[in-house]
Amino acid sequence: MIELSWPQVSARRLERAGLAGKAAQARPEEMVAAMCGAHAQVMSAAEASVGLRLDGVTRTHVREALWETRSLVKTHGPRGTVHLLPTRDLPMWVSALSSVPAGSRSVPESMRMTAEQIEQVVAAIGEALAGAELTIDELSEAVVAATGPWAGDLVMPAFQTWWPRWRQVMHLAAQRGAFVFGPVRGRKVTYTAPPPAAPMTDGLAALVRAYLTAYGPATPAQFAQWAGGPARWAAEAFRGVELEEVRLEGSPAWVLAGDTAVPDEPPRGVRLLPYFDAYVVAGRPRELLYAGRAAERALAGGQAGNFPVLLVDGNVAGVWHQRRSGNRIDVTVEPLRDLTAAQARGLEEQVERLGEVLEARPRLTIGPVTVGAHA
């Protein structure tokens, strides 16, 4: 059995994630495919995630791919969270995420929906958005009209207000292919039907292959945590793909059969990764990626992504924060260890590149980051 060290696996993952060496020559949708999606709850973070990996790409290019060429879509992806996904891969994602069994998450009795009601809401969303772009209020009216007053009951606490009952399954409807995000209308988000595409029947196996290509070696439990499904579902998904067992720092893990190559050199260089960057969210084991003080400083209750992070030679070695004012971005970086002269220059280059991606003039400060997680 092949034994792999953490530096070898780190170098392999960085190379495949577009984070090793020079920026990649690729289109935004190609990089998002390699990342297995870009977290987009905060759009500026998604734009930075994609742009920092690519040569000459800015937030304008990402927005063009999303709203003009439509080579990207914005929708609910793994774990039910908002992601950018390649339009060409949407059938794979819908097939894979539709296979996730219904969760056992406890819901207060006042909010509950029956299985039949859930199906009614998912169908109503798809019907309302066929050939339309609707705001959330317009969509809510259509869903309640199609299903019944129960769907509109204000039972969901949300941001100092209350949402109607039907909204608790909105992420599920997106994962089943009922809608994607549409272009903003004024300041209001819209929703619309996904681009037409032939359905895919083996999307889960394809997703496992994409995940292991990007983030292997990995275990079914790690895939389950990343995708947002139960352990038994993930184990069955792994059994549907031809795999090869290896050992990562002495522990068993899996890669695609024959895909055991690693770079000759350990990871080198400095990278800035924004909120919920795909690399750190998928990056496990956490104790290897977030070694030493990084686990205390850059994780929030064990969750990755709540802090933008500084990567040094493949490991999390600091946190950072940006504050935009007009066309200026103030970037504060808090390293957790002393940087060499070469690493300090690399950090300055990353900050300059961040400014290019976000189309602003950056200013770097080295010092403590005083804001909390996801600030």
pLDDT, tens digit (0-9, with 9 covering 90-100), for 33-48? 999 999 999 999 999 9
pLDDT at 372: 86
Q: Mean pLDDT throughout 89-94?
A: 98
Q: What is the pLDDT of residue 375?
A: 65
CA angle 273–11–283, rounded 5-degree value: 50
User: Residue 138 in 3-state DSSP?
Assistant: helix
d(CA 271, CA 218): 23
Is 99 part of a structural domain of the chain? no
In angstroms, rounded to a whole number, what is the distance separating the alpha carbons of residues 32 and 114?
36
79 falls within a domain: no
CATH of the domain at 310: 3.40.630
pLDDT tens digits, one per residue of 323-361: 999 999 999 999 999 999 999 999 999 999 999 999 999
Q: Which of 158, 179, 194 is the last residue of a domain?
A: 194
Which of 199, 189, 207, 167 lies closest to 85, judged by CA?
A: 207
Are the CB atoms for 100 and 229 separated by under 8 Å? yes
How many structural domains is the chain composed of?
Answer: 2
How does DSSP assign 191-231, residue by residue?
EEPPPP----S-HHHHHHHHHHHHH-SB-HHHHHHHHT--H
165 in any annotated domain: yes
Residue written as token pair 């969303």: 125
pLDDT band, residue 3 (cuts 50/70/90): very high
Please check whether residue 254 lies inside any domain of the structure.
no
Q: What share of the chain is helix, strand, coil (3-state, %, to 5)?
A: 40, 25, 35
Residue 105 in this model has a pLDDT that exceeds 70: no
**What is the spatial distance between Cα 110 and Cα 359, in angstroms, rounded to a whole number?**
46
Residue 327 lies in a domain: yes
Of 194, 210, 230, which residue is a domain's last? 194
Residue 134 dihedral angles phi and psi, to the nearest 5°: -120, 145
CATH (domain of 133): 1.10.10
pTM of the model as a whole: 0.95
Range of the domain at 175: 105-194
Residue whose token pair is 């935009």: 324
**Encoding tokens for residue 323?**
């504050």
**Residue at which a domain ends, from 194, 222, 248:** 194
Q: How far apart are CA 287 and CA 279, in angstroms?
A: 15
Distance CA 301, CA 322 (A): 22
